[in-house]
Structure 1
Amino acid sequence: MENPVPDHVPPEMVRDFSLFTSPGMSPTPNGDPHAAVACVHSGPPIFYSPLNTRDGRGTWVITRASDQRRVLQDTETFSSHRSIFASALGESWPMIPLELDPPAHGAFRSLLNPLFSPKRVAALEPAVRERAIRLIDGIAASGTSCDVMKDFAFPFTVNIFLHLLGLPDDRIDTFVGWGRDLLHGDDVKRPAAARTIVSFIDELAAARRNDLLDDFMTFVVQAQVEGRRLTKQEVRGVGVLVFVAGLDTVAAAIGFDLAYLARNLKDQELLRSEPGRIVAAAEELLRAYPTVQLIRVATKDIYFEGAPIRKGDYVSCATMIANRDPAEFECPNTVDLAREDNRHATFGYGPHRCLGSHLARREIVVGLEEWLARIPAFRIKNGTAPITSGGHVFGIENLILDWS
C-alpha cells in the first residue's frame, strides 16, 4: 500500500493513532476506548493520523479542547460539508443541518430548534419516564440479570425517538439493526444499511405528502425555509440525520454509564441513596464517556498551531479527546461525580452544537433515575465482558448486568 500521508505533512507530525484501529478501538472485551484515547495528551497538541476515518483517510487530530473550539467556531475555514452518509452510497448530498455551513445552516437550524427545545423536551418527559419504568419493571420481573443494551438502552432511547418521529415502535429491532450496520458495520453492511435508511425516509416523506399526520415527517414536508418548501433532497437530508442521530448515541451513552456504575459500587450506592446527585453525575459521565468524533474539511490552506493544513484536509475534533484535556479538567481521567463547572465538549461546540442535547440529557437522567430506583445493586455478570468499540461513534454491547 502506498503511504497515505500527503506530501505537505511533515514526517515528524505523523503519529500512529486512529480512533478506528488503535489498541482499544477495534471491538474489544472489557475495553476502555476513552482511556486509550486520553494517551494523546502526552504528545503534541496537533498531529496527523494517516488512518483516522472509516474509509482509511487521514485526518489532522486536534487534541486541545481550546483549539477544537477555535476550529468548530471558524466555519469559513473548517467546513462541515463532507456528505459522510451520502458518500456510503457514492452520492454527495448533505445531512441537514449537520453538514451545512452558515448561512444556509442557520435557516434550517431555526426551523428545527423548536422541535427539540427545553419546553418541548419537558412536555415529552412524562412519556420518557413512563417508557423507562415500563421497561425496567419488565426486566426486574423476569429475573436477576439482563443484556442492558438489548433489553433497556436501545428499546428505551429508540422508542422515544420513534415517538417523536410519529413511527410505530414495533420495528425497533429492525431500526436498531440498521443503525448498528451503518455505524459499526463493514464495507458491505454499511452501504446496504445506508440504502435501506434512505429508501425508508423517502417512502415515509412520500406517504406524509399524501396523508398528513401530526408527526415530525409531516412537519418537514410542509415546512418552509426562506419562503419556500423544502426540496425532496432537503427533506431526505433532514429525515436521515434525525433518524440516524436517534438510533445509537444516547443508547451508547447510557450503556457506558451503567458499565461504569456496575464497576464502581460506591458511586452506584451514592446515587441510589442521594438521587438528587444524578443530574450532576450524568454531566460527569457525559464528559468521561462521550461517543462522537466531529470532522471538518479545510476550505483553504492555513497554518494552525504550526500544522500546515491544506485545502481539502480532514480535521478531527474528537469529543473524547477534548473531554480528557488536562488543561480543561483537573484529573481528567478520574470520574468525579461531584465535579463542578463541568464545561465538557460532548455535544460539540459552535453553531453545530448538538440539536438534540436537551432530549439526550433528559433521557440519560431519567434512565439512570428509574434504573437505580428499581434495580438493586448490580455488577457485570461473572464470566461475561462488555465489548466496546471506537470509530466515528463509540459503542458498547454485550453488557450483561447481574443483581442476584
Structure 2
Amino acid sequence: MQPHAIPDHVPPGLVRDFSYFRSPGMARTPNGDPQAALSFVHYSGPPIFYAPANTYDGRGTWVITRADDQRRILQNPETFSSNRGIFKAALGEDLPMVPLEVDPPDHQSYRALQNPLLSPKRVDAMEAGARERAVRLIEGFKAKGSCEVMNDFAFPFAVGVFLQFLGVSDDRRDEFLGWADDQFHGTLEKRLAAMRTVVDFMRGLLEQRKREPADDFVGFLLQAKVKDRPLTDKEILGIAVLLFEAGLDTVAAALGFDLCHLAKHPDDQQRLRDDRELIKPAVEEFFRAYSTVQMLRKAVKDYDFDGILIKAGDLVSCPTMIANRDPAEFPDPDRIDLARDNNRHTAFAYGPHRCLGSHLARRELIIGLEEFLARIPTFRIKPGTAPLTYGGHVFGIENVVLDWEG
C-alpha cells in the first residue's frame, strides 16, 4: 500500500519514522515484547508526533504518547469522532458498529441500552459456563504435558464464551475460530472475506431469532427500544458485529501474553500459585503491561493541541500500550509488578467509548488464569520453541508452546 502524502500543515520536525506495523519489534519477532519496544517514545522526541503510513491503508496518524494527553483526546468526542465508517470503507456497507461508531449525544442512549447485557450481574450469571469451558479445555491437554496456548486454550476459550453470550451452540466454535483467525491475522483479502462472513452470519441469526424467539443476546435486542422506538436491523447487526470484533482477539491475545509472561518468569508464576488472591491485581497489571489496542479517532474540526494544529480530517491515534508505559503515570513502567498500587491503566480506553465489555474481559482473564494455575503444574516455554509477537492495530502473540511435568 502506497503511503499517503504528509499534509502541508504538519511541521517537518514532528514527522517521525514510526509505524505499528514496521517499527522495530512490530514484525513477527521470536521472544519479542512489542509493548516495551514502543516505550522508547517517552524518552526521545515530542509527546505528539505525526507517523506517515500508520494504518492498514497507508494513511498517516498523529500519535499521542502521554496518558494524560490521551485522556484529553478521548474525553472530547465533539472534536475527535469515533465514527470512522470501518465497514463502509472495507465492504461498502453502511453498518455502524454500535455504540463505538456513534458519538454523543446519541451514544448515551445506545450505551444505556447495552449496559445491562455486560453488567457485573450479567457476567456473574455467565461465570459458571465460562469456568466449565476453561476446565474442559485444560483437562483436554493436561495429560499431554504440553500445549500451544493460543490454539489449544486462549482462542477456543474466548470464542466459547462469545458463543455462550450469543446463545449459539458450541458446535459452531471451529467456524468462529477460523473467521477470527482470518479476520485478525489473515491477508487483506482474507480479512475482508471474514468480515463479510461474520456480517452474513449475524444477519442470518437475526432472521432466525425473528422466527424463533429466544432469551439470548439477539432476542434481547429485538425486544429493546432506544429513544422509544425498536432498534433497526442495521443497529442490531452493528451491535452484534462489534461484539465479535472487540471480544475475541483481544481476550485471546491477553491470555497468551499473560501465560507467556508467567512461563518466562517462574517467580511471578509461583507468587500466584502461593497467593490466589493476587490473581485479580495481577490481571490488572497484565492489562497495563501487555495492552493490545490503540484507539483511533478522526478530527471533525480544527484543534489546537498545545500549539500544534490538528486539522479536521486528521486521524489521531491513542495507543494504550504507549500510555500504559508512561513514566509520568506509572513508576518504573517497564517493570511488571503484580501487586502494583493505584493502577490507572487505560487498556479499556477512556471517556464515553470506554470498553463496554471490560467486566466480561476481566472475568475471562481471571477464570483463565485461576483454572490454568490450579490444574497445570509449573510450566515453562518448551525448549526449542519461541513465542512470536507482533504489532499492528491489535497487538498479538502466537506459537506460545508450554510444557510441564507430571
TM-score range, shorter chain: over 0.9
Q: Equivalent residue of 1:60, what SS?
A: strand
- Tell me the alpha carbon deviations over residues 222-250 of structure 1, each in whole angstroms, 9 at most, x when there is no partner: 22111111122111111110122222111
Aligned amino acid, residue 89 of structure 2: S
Cα deviation code 1:142-177 (max 9, x no counterpart): x11111111111111210111011011122222122
* Equivalent in 27, 49, 52 of residue 50 of structure 1: 52
Partner of 2:285: 284
Contact 1:82 1:297 in 2 (8 A): yes
Q: 1:11 to 1:120 in 2, by over 3 A?
A: same
Distance (whole Å) between structure 2 residues aligned to residue 83 and residue 170 of structure 1 = 32
The aligned counterpart of 1:71 is: 73
Match of 1:117 in 2: 119
Shifted more, 374-383 versus 218-227: the winner is 218-227
Q: Give the AA of the match of 1:237.
A: G
Unaligned runs of 5+ in 2: none
Which of 68, 77, 80 pairs up with 2:82? 80
Do 1:278 and 1:365's aligned partners in 2 also have CA atoms closer than 8 Å? yes
**Structure 1 stretches of 5 or more lacking a match?**
none
1: distance between equivalents of 2:4 and 2:59?
11
Answering whether residue 293 of structure 2 is matched by residue 304 of structure 1, we say: no
| Deviation (angstroms), 1:3 | 5.9
User: Equivalent residue for 2:388?
Assistant: 387
CA distance in 1, matches of 2:334, 2:86: 30
User: Does the residue aligned with 1:189 lie in a helix, a strand or coil?
Assistant: helix
The alpha carbon displacement at 1:111 in A equals: 0.6
> Residues 207-222 of structure 1 correspond to what in structure 2 (within 5 A)?
207-222=208-223
One-letter code aligned to 1:246? G
Match of 2:100 in 1: 98
Residue equivalent to 1:130: 132
Instruction: Note if contact 1:183-1:392 (Cα within 8 Å) is conserved in structure 2.
Output: no
Contact 2:282–2:338 (CA under 8 A) maintained in structure 1: yes
**Residue in 1 that maps onto 2:37:** 36
Match of residue 369 from structure 2: 368
Counterpart of 1:278 in 2: which secondary structure? helix
Give the AA of the match of 2:158. Answer: T
Which residue in 2 is equivalent to 1:167? Answer: 168
Deviation (angstroms), 1:345: 0.3
After TM superposition, list the pairs within 5 Å mapping 1:262-277 onto structure 2: 262-277=263-278
Within 1, Cα distance between the matches of 2:307 and 2:146? 52
The equivalent residue for 1:13 is 14
Which deviates more from structure 2 when the two are superposed, residues 28-37 or residues 360-369?
A: 28-37
Q: Deviations over 1:319-370 (max 9, x none)?
A: 1011000000001011011111101000110111110000100110111111
SS in 2 for 1:188: helix
Question: Shift in Å at residue 59 of structure 1?
Answer: 0.5
* Deviation of the 1:382 alpha carbon: 0.9
**1:313 and 2:311 correspond:** no
Please give the alpha-carbon distance, in whole angstroms, between the structure 2 residues aligned to 1:231 and 1:72.
28
In the alignment, structure 1 residue 60 sits paired with structure 2 residue 62? yes
Which runs of structure 2 are paired with 1:118-267 in the superposition (5 Å)?
Answer: 118-141=120-143, 143-267=144-268
Partner AA of 2:247 in structure 1: G
Structure-2 separation of matches of 1:177 and 1:386: 21
Once the 2 structures are TM-superposed, how far is the Cα of residue 126 of structure 1 from its aligned partner?
1.7
Take 2:321 and 2:275, find their aligned partners in 1: how far apart are those partners? 28
* Partners of 2:138 and 2:250 in 1: CA distance: 20
Q: Counterpart of 1:251 in structure 2: which amino acid?
A: A
Whether the 8 Å CA contact 2:386–2:401 is kept in 1: the answer is: yes
Q: How far apart in 2 are the matches of 1:18 and 1:303?
A: 24
What CA distance in whole angstroms lies between the structure 2 residues aligned with 1:104 and 1:363?
30
What percentage of residue pairs aligned between the two structures are identical?
A: 62
Q: What residue is the counterpart of 2:24 in the other structure?
A: 23
Q: For residues 14-47 of structure 1, what are the alpha-carbon distances to aligned partners after superposition, in whole Å with 9 as ceiling and x for unaligned?
A: 0011112212112222221111111111221000
* Contact 1:46/1:305, CA 8 A, preserved across alignment: no
Q: TM-score, normalised by structure 2?
A: 0.97
- 2-structure distance, mates of 1:83, 1:173: 29
Paired residue type of 1:160: V
Aligned to 1:358: 359
- Three-state SS of the structure 2 residue aligned to 1:100 is coil
* Deviates further, 217-226 or 94-103: 217-226
Give aligned pairs, total. Answer: 403
Q: For the aligned residues, what is the CA RMSD?
A: 1.3
In structure 2, how many angstroms separate the alpha carbons of the residues matched to 1:66 and 1:161? 33
Could you tell me which amino acid in structure 2 is paired with residue 17 of structure 1? F
Give the SS at the match of 2:188: coil
Partner SS, residue 298 of structure 2: strand
Give the CA deviation at 1:2: 6.9
Distance 2:276 2:16 in 1: 44
Instruction: Give SS of 1:308's match.
Output: strand
SS of aligned partner of 1:146: strand
> How far, CA to CA, are the matches of 1:184 and 1:59 in structure 2?
22
1:85 match: secondary structure? helix
Offset, 1:305: 2.4
1:108 to 107, 110, 119: 110
Query: What letter corresponds to residue 362 of structure 1 in structure 2?
Result: R
1:176–1:247 CA contact under 8 A, matched in 2: no
Matched AA of 1:119: K
2:4–2:60: 8 Å Cα contact kept in structure 1? no
Please tell me whether the aligned partners of residues 3 and 53 of structure 2 are also in contact (alpha carbons under 8 angstroms).
Answer: no
Moved over 4 A (4+): none
Name the amino acid aligned to 1:101. D
1:86 positional shift:
3.4
